[in-house]
Amino acid sequence: MTSIAKPPVKHPSSRTNALGLTLRDYEGAMSTLCAGCGHDSVTAALVQAAWELALEPHRAAKMSGIGCSSKTTAYFMKQSHGFNSVHGRMPSVTSGAAAANRGLTYIGISGDGDSLSIGLGQLSHAIRRNVNMLYVLENNGVYGLTKGQFSASADIGSTSKKGEANEQAPIDPVLLALTLGATFVARSFSGDKRQLVPILKAGIAHRGFALVDVISPCVSFNDHEGSTKSYAYTREHEVEAVHADFVPLQREITVPATDEVLRVVELHDGAQVRLRATAKDYDPTDRESAYAHVRACQSRHEIATGLLFVDEDGKDMHDHLRTVPTPLVDLPYEQLCPGKAAMEKLMERYR
Amino acid sequence: MPIPPEGGHAMASTDVSDPRYYHKVVDCQWACPAHTNVPGYLRLIALGRYDDSYLLNRESNVFPGILGRTCDRPCEPACRRGRVDEKPVAICRLKRVAADQRGDITDRLPKAPAVKNGKRVALVGAGPSSLTVANDLLPLGYDVTIFERNARPGGLMRINIPAFRLPAQVLDEECGYIIDMGAHMRYGTPVESLKALLADGYDAVYVGSGAPKGKELDLPGRWDAPAQVHIGIEWLANVHFGHVERIAPRVLIIGVGNTAMDCCRTAKRVGATDVKVIARRGRKHFKASPWELEDAEEEQVEIVENHAPKRFIVENGTLVGMEFERLEWSEGAGGRQTSTVLGTTVIPCDAVILAIGQDNAFPWIERDIGITFDAKWDMPIVDKVTHQSTRAGVFFGGDAAWGPENIIWAVAHGHAAAISIHQHCQGLPVDERPPVGMTLTSAKMGMHAWAYDNDYDTAGRAKMQHAELAARFAHVGVEVELGFTAEQTATEVQRCLNCDIQTHFTAPLCIECDACVDVCPTNCLTITTNSTPLDELRTRLSAPALNHAQDLYVSDALPQTRRIMVKDEDVCLHCGLCAERCPTAAWDMRVFDLKQPYAGTALAGALG
């Protein structure tokens, strides 16, 4: 929350992207979240990622549900489409929108409450369908809007602001996504944009469902000693498995010579994600070892971050449904709704 | 205490307890020779507190009404607004608003004590620098005598600045504030011998006699029609005194400084119809302030560039024109400008005014009284800080010290010299200076309430209203600039970015949430490793500055990661969003108030 809007003044050296837009052009309304909220940093990372990708604002749709996290969509890309859905129902609304118009870029923003409690079923099925979207889960382990009750992602032993420890086992969205067959699974931290921005860019470019679980501390109700989702705890326990560098198709690839082993994953549009394993022998294309790594980190009270798993060969929702390449919204009416005769002919096949 | 850097290349943290650090952030105040608290007085104008604004101004620059019309405004090119918006804040014009709108402030002016301190000081000349010395010394109980060759005070402010720019009443009032404290005025008394003056037993003598000699242009024909060729500052003085009431229709002004601007515009008011200002070089090298050039051109004065005077053309004892060489300039090696002569041109005229600079003249200072003169320029050797000459107790300031400068410099000299005179008269070393101090107080008034208006106003710079062209030439005394309207004033003060409300950082409180970095509209903040020297650090910032004149603030190591918070001061808008978004109040907005020392300010050790 701030008392004034951000002054409309640009830095004298501010640059423009391929569309001629500056970073400031990707901003949205002023945030009314608490000062220091991790979600505002995620917003800044999204602004940065969208600007760097030269995403056309009018060709993007920002989708959200309910909660502090779901306010995020108001704070970036003010010229884009948006849908603020019922609590936990963002995945199905996005599935519908993506079915109707496959031409847009879908950016879904949710939180641990919206995704792992009321919306867990919705999330699971969006992963199964492999809806082509970026799904950012701003994860702070508490219900901030209702003053800090434990959420479904709170770790065992993590304490509330009043000192009470959580005793129920957490749902880890990363493990959930790996189990359900997600084709892009990453975890990052709102306080580490160097890691987060390339992951968001890769997630947007990925064809299929890209889950990015972002530890995004709640400064008001979960940033105390004893919390396992505070700024300090996350910094101390974060272990980056794989660092991703996003290389768009258009740009000449100039990477400084290095002894490190780089694994290059080509994305659907020809862009590349260059993965640099920082944990020994880590293979980000092997679902089993990704799962094992996250579990092992968990048992050591470490937080596995980075682009943990990516599979660019998976089929997305449109592949499964064998829909036409043209977005349904662009199909001529006669084709979309071919009339009674065509309907009867179809029905005949089921008699 | 700054934490020493960790690696060999790392940078030490910034010491903000040194008043110079935050002072430099306030571009206008840093650029002003008298270090006037500009944002402070603009906020007082915004509140309608004109008296307070005037008095805050007066503390440092002594002549707000005069300077609000005539200052060379070193503050405005420095103004940060000019780096983030098209034009700087109209600081000078707002100063005039405070002066014009003030009520009777005489009971709030400094006063001389009834009991004097027994020390006698003589000031030579009643111009801005001497009057400043008097202003600072009279309240301390000094017996001050001012020797002035003319019948009224003000020096060049009165006789060289035309009344259409500075009305006599404004000048009289502000000189009066000082003189009425009890200075002994010896009008009509030029000092003809410093030796004799010193023999009168003054405890200190201050020479503030200006640079009263206009430069000569000794070209062929100069002395063939002397009645038609004038020296700029002498001619302006003659117009002022009424000795000159008319000039012939066609006038050439040689030189393109501010004196040339005053000459050409005055000529238009005493009968000239065709006035040309002749410049040796191109427009970007002109010495005149851009706004004075603009005003002259508005009055249909023609500016002729790249013409070098060659000779005066006199026929039958009458000046009929001047011959010039037309020049073309090119930049040679090392940026040196060289000229090529393209040909010659004759410009017909009836009179020529020479405005090519001023010299000092000290025929009245004997060379055997311990005051050493520089062999090359024949100027007294004067200490840059103390203003003392090689003879203890004799001080120089204003244009008399190092040649022509602007009024605001003369004021700054007067303040510095007054400190020296006070030291000297107490028997203390003159190079022992009272310290520059500061106060820093939080501007936080509530959750999201600050002691200043932190919102950014997008308004463009207000345009000064001028008297109608036709009305201007009725009389030399018709003031051209009408001052800002109430509406213009209200908008213009809001353009100030309040650079004196500092972003103050407390590293141990920072949790590195990035909120400040994310919200800063001009990307001033970066959290990064402390591993490289300044030049490389600059390249790693969120938005590397184009202007390196402003410094980088470097914090102590941050608690969680040992990284550092770096703030580039260059284009900070002082909007306070970093502090509003900071969950731990590691960032705070603090009002910086520079405590500039004056004569009578305690020395560093004096308070124990």
Instruction: Tell me what percent of the residues of chain B surpass a pLDDT of 70.
Output: 98
**CB B127 within 8 Å of CB B116:** no
Pair of tokens at residue B366:
């004997």
Number of A/B CB contacts below 8 angstroms equals 107
The predicted pLDDT at position A160 comes to: 95
Show the CA angle centred on residue A49, arms to residues A44 and A53, nearest 5°.
150
pLDDT digits (tens, 9 = 90+) for A141-160: 999 999 999 999 999 999 99
Quick check: B4 pLDDT over 50? no
Nearest residue to A240 (alpha-carbon basis) of A200, A274, A271, A196: A196
Q: What share of chain B is helix, strand, coil (3-state, %, to 5)?
A: 30, 20, 50
Instruction: Please judge whether A40 and B519 are an interchain contact, meaning their C-beta atoms are less than 8 angstroms apart.
Output: yes
pLDDT confidence of residue B463: 93
Which of A61, A37, A342 is CA-nearest to residue A215? A37
Predicted local confidence at residue A137, as pLDDT: 98
CA B433/CA B141 separation, integer angstroms: 20
Of B458, B544, B580, the CB nearest to A35: B580
- Closest CB to B581: pick one of A5, A14, A36: A36
For helices A90-100 and A120-129, the axis angle rounded to 10 degrees is 30
Whether the CB of A48 is below 8 Å from some CB of chain B: the reply is no
In the predicted model, is pLDDT for residue B608 greater than 60?
no
> Environment class of residue B474 by beta-carbon count within 10 Å: exposed (0-12), middle (13-18) or buried (19+)?
exposed
**pLDDT tens across B204-216, in order?**
999 999 998 899 9
Measured at the alpha carbon of residue B319, what is the angle toward residues B315 and B322, in degrees to the nearest 5? 100
Query: A residues 9-38 near B, CB within 8 Å?
Result: 9-14, 24, 34-38
Tokens matching residue A311: 């599979």
Partner residue facing B458 (CB), from A8, A24, A231: A8
CB contact under 8 A, A4 and B456: yes
Q: Could you list the pLDDT tens digit for every one of the 351 residues in chain A?
A: 789 999 999 899 889 999 999 999 999 999 999 999 999 999 999 999 999 999 999 999 999 999 999 999 999 999 999 999 999 999 999 999 999 999 999 999 999 999 999 999 999 999 999 999 999 999 999 999 999 999 999 999 999 999 999 999 999 999 999 999 999 999 999 999 999 999 999 999 999 999 999 999 999 999 999 999 999 999 999 998 888 888 776 555 555 555 556 677 777 777 777 777 677 778 889 999 999 999 999 999 999 999 999 998 889 999 999 999 999 999 999 999 999 999 999 999 998
CB contact under 8 A, A35 and B522: no
Residue B75 backbone phi and psi in degrees, to 5 = -65, -35
For B500-550, write each residue's pLDDT tens digit. Answer: 999 999 999 999 999 999 999 999 999 999 988 888 999 999 899 999 999
Cα–Cα dist A83/A67, whole Å: 14
CB B493 within 8 A of CB B45: yes
Select from B511, B567, B571 the residue whose CB has the most chain A CBs within 10 Å, as the one to mutate to test that interface: B511
Q: Which residue of B has its CA nearest to A236?
A: B560
* DSSP three-state, residue B541: coil
All residues of chain B having their beta carbon less than 8 Å from the beta carbon of residue A231 are 511-513, 560
pLDDT averaged over every residue in chain B: 94
DSSP, res B356: S
CA distance B193 to B186: 15
Selected for mutation to probe chain B from A6, A9, A218 (highest B CB count within 10 Å) is A9
Q: Which residue spans within B470-603 are E strands per DSSP?
A: 501-505, 525-528, 552-554, 564-568, 587-595
* Nearest CA-CA partner of A180 in A239, A229, A131, A243: A131
- Residues 6 or more apart whose Cβ sits within 8 Å of residue A72: A39, A42, A43, A46, A64, A109, A136, A138
Structure tokens at A53: 């990708």
Q: Given this model, what pLDDT does residue B604 score?
A: 79
Q: Name the fold adopted by A23-321.
A: Rossmann fold (3.40.50)
Q: Residue A249 has what pLDDT?
A: 67
Tell me the C-alpha distance between A71 and A31, whole Å: 8
Cβ separation B513–A219 shorter than 8 A: yes
Q: Which chain B residue has the Cα nearest residue A219? A: B583
Nearest to A28 by CA among A137, A116, A109, A127: A109
Q: Which of B408, B380, B373 is CA-nearest to residue B396?
A: B380
Asked whether the predicted pLDDT for residue B607 surpasses 60, the reply is no
Say whether A7 and B544 touch across the interface (CB within 8 A): no
How confident is the model over B431-466, as pLDDT tens digits? 999 999 999 999 999 888 999 999 999 999 999 999
Please give the residue of chain A at the shortest CA–CA distance from B449: A3
Rounded Cα distance between A266 and A274, Å, is 9
Amino acid (1-letter code) at residue B568: D
pLDDT for residue B335 = 79
**Residue in chain B lying closest to A191 (CA):** B513
**Which ipTM value was assigned to this complex?**
0.91
Confidence label for B2 from pLDDT (cuts 50, 70 and 90): very low
Chain A residues touching B450 at Cβ < 8 A: 3
Average pLDDT over residues B118-142: 98
Copy the structure tokens of residue A51: 């600007």
Q: Which residues of chain A does B522 touch, with a Cβ-Cβ cutoff of 8 Å?
A: 9-11
Q: Residues of A with CB below 8 A from B449's CB?
A: 3
Q: State both tokens at B358.
A: 């001023």
Name the residue among A3, A8, A41 with its Cβ closest to that of B513: A41
Please state, as a whole number, how many other Cβ atoms lie within 10 Å of the Cβ of residue B478: 15
Determine the distance in angstroms separating the CA of A323 from the nearest CA of chain B, rounded to an integer. Answer: 41
- Residue (of B325, B382, B407, B365) closest to B161 by Cα position: B407
Instruction: From chain B, pick out residues whose CB is under 8 angstroms from the CB of A37.
Output: 513, 515
Tokens for B550, please give them.
């402003």
Note whether A196 contacts B: Cβ–Cβ < 8 A.
no
**Is residue A155 a contact partner of residue A234, using CB atoms and an 8 Å limit?**
no
Tell me the nearest-neighbour CA distance from B11 into chain A, angstroms: 23
Please report the DSSP string for B363-398 in residue order.
TTS-TTSS--B-TTT--B---TTT-B-SSTTEEE-T
Nearest chain A residue to B520 by CA distance is A6
Question: Do A7 and B571 lie within an 8 Å CB cutoff?
Answer: no
CB pair distance less than 8 Å for A13 and B515 = no
Chain A residues close to B560, C-beta within 8 Å? 231-232, 235
Average pLDDT over residues B272-295: 93
Query: Rounded to a whole number, what is the distance in Å from the CA of A132 to chain B's nearest CA?
Result: 28
The yes-or-no verdict on residue B343 having pLDDT over 90 is yes
Q: Are B555 and B10 in contact (CB under 8 A)?
A: no
Which residues in chain A have Cβ-Cβ distances shorter than 8 Å to B521? 6-10, 24
Give the closest residue to B502 by CA, choosing from B594, B595, B591.
B591
Q: How far apart are CA B274 and CA B248, in angstroms?
A: 9
Residue type, B275: V
Calculate how close chain A gets to B1, using CA atoms only, in Å. 25
- Whether A43 and chain B come into contact, CB under 8 Å, resolves to yes
Task: Domains for chain B: give ranges and CATH numbers.
Answer: 1-25+436-457+495-608 (no CATH), 32-107+458-494 (no CATH), 109-212+360-425 (3.50.50.60), 214-358 (3.50.50.60)
Strand partners, A184: A210, A310
- Tracing tokens 């000082």 back to the chain, one arrives at B178
> What is the number of other CB atoms lying within 10 angstroms of the CB of residue B109?
14
Contacts of B561 in chain A (CB under 8 A): 235
- Please give the backbone phi and psi of residue A97, each rounded to the nearest 5 degrees, phi first: -65, -45
Contact B449 A232 (CB under 8 A): no
Q: How far apart are CA B308 and CA B276, in angstroms?
A: 14
DSSP string, A124-183: HHHHHHT-SEEEEEEE-SEETTTT-EE-TTPPTT-B-TTSPBP-SPPP-HHHHHHHTT-S
In whole angstroms, give the CA distance from residue B266 to residue B264.
5
In this complex, do B518 and A231 lie within 8 Å of one another by their Cβ atoms?
Answer: no
pLDDT band at B11; cut points 50, 70, 90: confident
Whether B454 sits inside 8 A of A6 (CB atoms) is no
What pLDDT does A254 receive? 52
Cα B128 to Cα A55, A150, A296: the distances in Å are: 62, 72, 80
Q: What is the pLDDT of residue B1?
A: 38
